Chains A and B, each alone.
Chain A
Amino acid sequence: MSALHDCRDAFSRTLIELADHDERIVAVVNDSVGSSKLGDFSKRFPDRLINVGIAEQAMVGVAAGLAAGGRIPFVSAASCFLTARAMEQIKVDVAYSDHHVVLCGQSPGVAYGELGPTHHSPEDLAWLRTIPGLTVVVPADPAETAAAVRWAAAHDGPVFLRISRMGVPDVHAPNVTFTPGVATELHPGDDVAIIALGTTVAPSLEAARDLADEGIGARVLSIGTLSPIDRQAVVNAARQTRGIVTVEEAYRSGLGGAVAEIVTEEHPVPVRRIGLDGFAPTGSTHWLFKRSGIDPATIADVARHLVEEG
């Protein structure tokens, strides 16, 4: 496996590049300078790093006010606190108000494995995909993270970016561009489809390669945008394969729910959803991934069974 990367590095590096050329860009944090890797940003742009303290509701409201004043705020905070604590501000002040605010949910899912369920955000994808007008982006590697940050800075509307600290390998081409609502096929196959996003793309690809060795063609779709999701890519997967496996570092009502809704309405085929379930026990991120079946062997097993059943 190639080297692993912390996507926060690509996030902070890209944000500085953009801020160098666009003084409208500001960062808004809740004492999360270090955990967002924004130390360099704060040194370079001390006036444009607004640390509101540990106050998530006000943080999102302040960002909406900054946007109303012509700034482009990147709100960067641990996803568990940003989404759960400030959900009404996300809904009303950002999405309903149609402000160009980029909400950056850092270290989501079970990135803070050992810290326990208070610090996990398995709910964020399911919650956020119901909010109208909010583009929910889950990059899978540093290249896609950088491209998504650039796109979000230019997109005049509300965005949520889910950025992981968990080490991930490169899965996209280094010069990948980000197009919202368009899934990327990273591995071909017509026997079964594996639909993943963020940190689960790499183990899904590994599963597909193992299945290929057995003669099973597993199509891997990387869903860069959960909302609006690439409906046509999901429908094509349903029509052209024998079933779909979804894999997410979140409760399965996030990506799995979104895919199941489309498949049920458009072209019913078997769907198996891999993801987190319940309040997690104490353990490392890797241990929790394996416990939840987010590993190449389990993903391959589930996909193989679908093919055999079909």
Chain B
Amino acid sequence: MTTDVDGLRAASQRVRLRDLQMVSSAGMGHIGGEFSVTDILVTLYLGVMALDGPEPDRLVLSKGHAAAALYAVLAEAGLLSEDDLTTFVQADSALNGHPARTKVEAVEASTGPLGHGLPIAVGMAMAARLDGSSRRVFVVTGDGEMQEGSNWEALMIAAHHGLDRLVLIIDRNGLQQGAAVADTSDLEPLDDKLRAFGWAVAEVDGHDVEQLQDILSAIPLVPGRPTAVIARTHKGHPVSFMSDDAGWHHRVPTPEQVDAARAEVLAT
């Protein structure tokens, strides 16, 4: 399935509206990071990945706290139902606050603790190579979670093995739970670091679905190297009072804020 740019934009809008509804009904979620990663997930699931056929691509959402965005995108892709979404974090729901592969078939990896998704994706890419498969493996991390040592272990392993069907997308919103990444344990120069670790690196506007679709459809950027896409995003995008505010990491909007946010999403 591939959706055109207008279709992707419309899907992103629907996903954010659903996410808003899910988080406000549940009284919990991580809306800031969900809104920053929405366009990335929408582009991957609806505009880049082969979801069926003999060689389906795989996606690992390493920043598992953005589960609500993943669930809403899976519903857009027809892999979850609207009814499923209404159960988000309710008692005994399959839709945990962090995604679980044993509970939702379309979830490829159980994540939540940070720094787990990339090593798992490396193993998936190795398995594909052993099978002689051309499937691509996409893994989406937050930027704060690039502080985890396990990610740098995995970066080395992937480059050493030349896993050029592996794609890391870093949701570079610049904020972690408590503060700016730059004020906590700075990652810069991130692109140089990733290149030095043997990866092909590209930077895009992580809210521009056209840029995302172009780059993510052009894998590998360099044959023999895994690809890292640094997607520049804004936490809480496009809602003015949430955007770039670490306070919206897991704040729940009031009913008035839900109405205001909905209006801004619809106007985007």
Binding site for B on A (CB under 8 A): 26, 47-48, 50, 52-53, 55, 57-71, 73, 88-89, 92-93, 96-98
Contact = CB atoms under 8 A, between A and B. Distances in A.
Interface stretch (B8-16, B43-51, B79-87, B110-118): B110-118
Contacts of A47: 130
Contact of B126 (A50, A57, A98): A50
B93 to A, nearest CB: 16
Contacts of A50: 126
B185 to A, nearest CB: 18
B116 A92 contact: yes
B122 interface: yes
Contact of A58 (B108, B110, B113, B154): B154
B109 A62 contact: no
Contacts of A62: 119-120, 122-123, 126, 154, 157
A58 B122 contact: yes
Residue from B101, B118, B149, B150 with most neighbouring chain A CB atoms (10 Å):
B150
* Shortest 5 CB-CB contacts between residues of A and residues of B: A65-B123, A69-B127, A61-B119, A55-B153, A58-B153
B170 interface: no
B157 A65 contact: no
B130 A57 contact: no
Interface string B118-161: 11111111111011000000000000000001100110110010
A55 B149 CA distance: 9
Nearest to A67: B123
Contact of B128 (A69, A89, A98): A69
Given A61-B119, A92-B110, A68 B156 contact: no
A65 B156 CA distance: 16
Interface in B143-186: 149-150, 153-154, 156-157, 160
25 contacts: A52-B153, A53-B157, A55-B154, A57-B153, A61-B119, A62-B126, A62-B157, A64-B109, A65-B109, A65-B121, A65-B124, A66-B124, A66-B126, A68-B58, A68-B108, A69-B127, A69-B130, A88-B113, A92-B111, A92-B112, A92-B116, A96-B110, A97-B100, A97-B101, A97-B110
